Structure 1
């Protein structure tokens, strides 16, 4: 069936064909049953009349001579007698005699009790029966089947009319059912086309509790997820524009100062060095911010092939990188091997963000406590901790507390940690450590790795 035919029309056609096949099979079965019944009644009546006539001596020649052929024609009956191998018909012609054969001769000789078959006499079907009519005699009666065939013909016409009406009604009913049943599908189609044209993610009204209703619910859930994704994208773009504006403005100001100073005679080496250092710092800040934005923009599952990663090794590598920066903070590490299936780069980035955040808030010569056991990584610092007001927002993009606004950072580090945890099927929580500082707990599903020794 052509793809251009609508689903409703295809359902209507299939329904109509199914009903037509059912009606045709039913009408054929009824017609054959009625036909068999009518022929059986004709055979019974004809056989009884033939036996009664034979019992009354109708096969005797004297009796036959007294029967008027016109009366037989009026009764639509033909009679013939077979004796001594010869046949005689009581009619104006011998058309019945011409149809006699071995079966009727067998009845006259006593070899068969009865013969019953259909013959064609003058283009008309007759039911012919032969019964014993005496010694070496057989009485043959033939009755026209025209009345029976006329009845069957009328019955066939009636069945055709019933079948046509049934198919027509089935088509109308099928079209009505198809259009009614597919109305939710049309609503979904219209909604999808409207979304493609206008990007208006308006949910569709759900009616009923059938499969189409569940499909509508699933479609609305998809719209909600799409709307949330678009909202996150818009928010990310808006926040990124806001956060990029400050370092870009500062960078442009410093570059303009350098340009004006060179035009007016130049700056001292010290002032020029300070400006260049400021520009390099701003470029580094921009690079970090852009990298964080790119990482957060990947709002999808892991795009690289996941592989087993020893989280303890990831923690060790991140700690070594932070220690090399020489920020005067001690990092106390205790970890046991833990295998995680995921992306080693993303995991190391998340651990680095947690460590950088702890170091940033630690006091001079403070200690950051890092523990990894049974897939739970905790990072605690000895800083001022997180206030109750800021605690619900620490993982939001670009969120920075009042105290953090004077410190370097983009406000995206902890958001990246949360996104990495979710991509790996884990979770991260923020709280207060026993030392009064901040405590971050990262839980990742995995299994123990027995081939490495604990790190202290």
Structure 2
């Protein structure tokens, strides 16, 4: 579960930060306390040495024990009733030489003491000890307080992280639930509410955009299937009728009638082949996998024109005016020019040239046919659309639709206008290459 894993990571980070802080503080405070104890012992030794030379009584401290050490290492308690401090060789050496100091830790009556031995002017030494009980109590309380404060902080951090992360991940949970529902039901009408700014908000908006694109794609697929079935029905009906006629006649047709029926079959088969090919292009969009390169439109136009000159024997001229380079998929763009040329040749008289014009990043093909009705200028790029006056001519109504789809994927626009001197001018414009 993502929420639990992120909460665990957050709490682990909090615990690590607290432990580093506590350990660092403990290591910084411990030397200070030890230094304070050393200074307290030194001050007490100096006080005892100063008082021993006077008649003033020695102030009693319950946490300290004082005793005299003669040069021969004999112990004389300074506070009656206190247990004597154990004497080490180092202490005896200080008393015997009458110079220097000695520090050690001892255990008296089951309690830990810090002992400082300092030489006494004139011989001997003074030994002063301090009970570590208070220091141990402070250390124990520090550890105890650090433990429960850490535990409380961890609990608060875990609770806060759980709810905060749950709130942050709520849009992602909605996204996961919506994805699961779409996978199960296939319903693309779902839409996630806006999750605000930030990465999660961007993810939500991207998901909604993806759903919108899928809805459009599905609608286009449905429309394509419906239109394709409608367009396929006519040539299939003609092929079926011609085939049934040949089957029923069984050689009884005259050679002329049989030739007409066979010609119809061949013509309709060619129409079906062209229609199926264009449908495959529309459905698969195979040109989108082609790499993009920088192209010169006049060169592309000349290549396409040369190919159509050989194929059709028609005169095709290319006119370039201040051309600019574009970034596009070469084969896809060539398909667009081919479709425009095929369309222009179909509607232009055989003895009049077809013109390809390139101006900047715009390419257009002009024919000298009857032109396009004003009401049809915007519709000629729709799939399977055929104007009223062109339905008797060969074609499926998909050529310009393919041009529209390819140019749209390149970020360009298509246009169709009637030329003032007659004929139609159909073309596209692409963004200039950077």
TM bucket, shorter chain: 0.7 to 0.9
Name the CA distance, whole Å, in 2 between partners of 1:444 and 1:105.
Answer: 102
The yes-or-no answer on 1:252 pairing with 2:247 is: no
Kindly indicate whether the alpha-carbon contact (under 8 Å) linking 2:73 and 2:96 is maintained by their aligned counterparts in 1.
Answer: no
The yes-or-no answer on 1:362 pairing with 2:348 is: yes
Corresponding residue for residue 20 of structure 2: 25
Kindly indicate whether the alpha-carbon contact (under 8 Å) linking 1:80 and 1:97 is maintained by their aligned counterparts in 2.
Answer: no
Corresponding residue for residue 48 of structure 2: 53
Q: CA RMSD in A?
A: 3.4
Corresponding residue for residue 278 of structure 2: 292
Please show how residues 66-145 of structure 1 align to structure 2 within 5 Å.
75=62, 77-90=64-77, 96-98=85-87, 100-102=88-90, 105-106=93-94, 109-112=97-100, 114-121=101-108, 123-145=110-132
> Does the C-alpha gap of structure 1 residues 221 and 42 become closer, same or farther in structure 2, counting only changes over 3 Å?
same
Name the CA distance, whole Å, in 1 between partners of 2:92 and 2:9.
Answer: 54
Number of residue-to-residue matches in the alignment: 426
Moved more, 418-427 or 184-193: 418-427
Please show how residues 19-418 of structure 1 align to structure 2 within 5 Å.
19-57=14-52, 75=62, 77-90=64-77, 96-98=85-87, 100-102=88-90, 105-106=93-94, 109-112=97-100, 114-121=101-108, 123-201=110-188, 202-262=190-250, 266-299=252-285, 301-304=287-290, 310-324=299-313, 331-334=316-319, 345-363=331-349, 365-372=351-358, 376-418=362-404
**C-alpha distance after superposition, 1:41-78 (max 9, x if no partner):** 44444333332222121899xx9xx99xxx99x93543
Name the CA distance, whole Å, in 2 between partners of 1:308 and 1:145.
Answer: 85
SS at match of 2:391: helix
> Does the C-alpha gap of structure 1 residues 132 and 306 become closer, same or farther in structure 2, counting only changes over 3 Å?
closer
Name the CA distance, whole Å, in 2 between partners of 1:257 and 1:440.
Answer: 42
> Does the C-alpha gap of structure 1 residues 84 and 333 become closer, same or farther in structure 2, counting only changes over 3 Å?
closer
> Does the C-alpha gap of structure 1 residues 251 and 128 become closer, same or farther in structure 2, counting only changes over 3 Å?
same
Name the CA distance, whole Å, in 2 between partners of 1:428 and 1:195.
Answer: 35
**C-alpha distance after superposition, 1:330-363 (max 9, x if no partner):** 5444469997776655444332321222232235
Kindly indicate whether the alpha-carbon contact (under 8 Å) linking 2:73 and 2:92 is maintained by their aligned counterparts in 1.
Answer: no
Kindly indicate whether the alpha-carbon contact (under 8 Å) linking 1:377 and 1:442 is maintained by their aligned counterparts in 2.
Answer: yes
Name the CA distance, whole Å, in 2 between partners of 1:445 and 1:173.
Answer: 52
**C-alpha distance after superposition, 1:111-134 (max 9, x if no partner):** 43x444433345532011223433
Query: Following TM superposition, by how much is the alpha carbon of 1:216 offset from its aligned partner in structure 2, in angstroms?
Result: 0.9
Query: Following TM superposition, by how much is the alpha carbon of 1:140 offset from its aligned partner in structure 2, in angstroms?
Result: 0.3
Q: Which runs of 5+ in 2 are unaligned?
A: none
Name the CA distance, whole Å, in 2 between partners of 1:346 and 1:19.
Answer: 57
Corresponding residue for residue 450 of structure 1: none
Name the CA distance, whole Å, in 2 between partners of 1:51 and 1:251.
Answer: 125
Name the CA distance, whole Å, in 2 between partners of 1:57 and 1:348.
Answer: 114
Name the CA distance, whole Å, in 2 between partners of 1:226 and 1:261.
Answer: 51
SS at match of 1:56: helix
SS at match of 1:205: coil
SS at match of 1:86: coil
Name the CA distance, whole Å, in 2 between partners of 1:94 and 1:276.
Answer: 132
Please show how residues 434-445 of structure 1 align to structure 2 within 5 Å.
434-443=420-429
Name the CA distance, whole Å, in 1 between partners of 2:141 and 2:19.
Answer: 16
**C-alpha distance after superposition, 1:308-342 (max 9, x if no partner):** 77314423333314533xxxx75444469997776
- State TM-score, norm by structure 1: 0.82
> Does the C-alpha gap of structure 1 residues 247 and 195 become closer, same or farther in structure 2, counting only changes over 3 Å?
same
Name the CA distance, whole Å, in 2 between partners of 1:306 and 1:42.
Answer: 80
Name the CA distance, whole Å, in 1 between partners of 2:24 and 2:330.
Answer: 74
